[in-house]
Amino acid sequence: MVEPVLSLQGLRKNFGGLRVTDDLSLDVLPGELHALIGPNGAGKTTLINQISGLISPDAGRIVFCGGDVTASAPFERAKLGLARSFQITSTLPNFSALENVSLVVQARSGSSYRFLGDAAKEADLSSQAMSALQEVGLAHRADIQAAHLSHGERRALELAIALAMQPKLLVLDEPMAGTGREESARLVSVLQRLKGRFPIVLVEHDMQAVFALADRVSVLIYGRILMTGAPASVRSDPKVIAAYLGDETA
């Protein structure tokens, strides 16, 4: 049996009297792009906040790469390789695209630069950061301040930052939100290229993107998984159509 990279086991979360995560179990397998879809208020953000450690579940367990991280802080999970890219862009606006990625490469590499001189260190940081920018199609914008990038380019920059972290799991919270049709298509093709290298959990309302990218889709309704399956079977499932997709499949 394949060991899941991430295993959510019987998670439960209440906000006051409202049960937002309801005995939820879900496995993310090596290399898969696992999309999480569902109507507004279904509990998707609350769930990924529990995965990244911003919110503690009231009950249940979160196992990441074989270890129990239920009680671990977000930075501890990040150190283990759990990378999350936020719904609201989180780049440093006054730094160039290259500097934004270089900072992450530097933080990750840490003490491995101890024996290098400043110039060699600088060159190595830049070349690693540049190759992450290349992978997301932003190399030609390397010297532009993040504040001056388009919305879609900033989303791509976030992906480059996530790549530079060399994650064991990448959690993406609505990467297509606020992007136009063209930018969204460009992000889909970047994700097409990245997928398979590490598992990705993708929360996204753009169903075209979800069905183009996902290996498996989980549908969340009222804090519960209604169904997990291949995109084609989810898309044609009467329960899913009734609860969420409606006309979107037409």
Ligand X SMILES: Nc1ncnc2c1ncn2[C@@H]1O[C@H](COP(=O)(O)OP(=O)(O)OP(=O)(O)O)[C@@H](O)[C@H]1O
Does position 15 interact with ligand X (CB under 6 A)? The reply is: yes
Contacts of 58 (CB under 8 A, 6+ apart): 12, 13, 14
Closer residue to ligand X, CB minimum distance, 51 or 161? 51
The nearest distance, CB 173 to ligand X, in angstroms, is: 9
The nearest distance, CB 140 to ligand X, in angstroms, is: 33
Q: What is the dihedral of CA 182, 188, 194, 196, to 10 degrees?
A: -160
Q: Stretches 4-12, 33-41, 77-85, 116-124: which one binds ligand X (CB under 6 A)?
A: 33-41
Sort residue 38 into left (φ over 0), alpha (ψ -120 to 50) or beta: left
The Cα-based distances of 24 to 59, 95, 127, 223 in angstroms read 10, 40, 42, 7
Residues 145-204 that bind ligand X (CB under 6 A): none
The nearest distance, CB 40 to ligand X, in angstroms, is: 3
The Cα-based distances of 11 to 20, 22, 90, 235 in angstroms read 10, 7, 28, 26
Closer residue to ligand X, CB minimum distance, 22 or 183? 22
Does position 44 interact with ligand X (CB under 6 A)? The reply is: yes
Distance CA 159, CA 83 (A): 10
Tokens of 150: 């388009």
Does position 82 interact with ligand X (CB under 6 A)? The reply is: no
Q: Which of 42, 69, 83, 188 binds ligand X (CB under 6 A)?
A: 42
Residues 107-136 that bind ligand X (CB under 6 A): none
Binding site for ligand X (CB under 6 A): 15, 18, 20, 38, 40-46
